[in-house]
Amino acid sequence: PGKDSRWLPSLVLARLVFVPLLLLCNIKPRRYLTVVFKHDAWFIFFMAAFAFSNGYLASLCMCFGPK
């Protein structure tokens, strides 16, 4: 996304999708929330995508901010 693009704020807000996805993973046994993603690989995948998007979008914000 470019400096004046509407994609950057949209992608930053789209990262909120990761919060319920991580809550639905099988991190540790619990009874108050159902586990949708039972395999640990899902948690690793969601966390890696969350971390990558954080680094990429944060660096874009810092590059476009001072201009």
Distance separating alpha carbons of residues 28 and 10, to the nearest angstrom: 32
Q: Given this model, what pLDDT does residue 10 score?
A: 93
Distance separating alpha carbons of residues 30 and 11, to the nearest angstrom: 31
Please name the residues in contact with 59: beta carbons below 8 A apart, sequence gap of 6 or more.
Answer: none
Average pLDDT over residues 5-26: 92
Q: Given this model, what pLDDT does residue 67 score?
A: 62
pLDDT at 7 over 70: yes
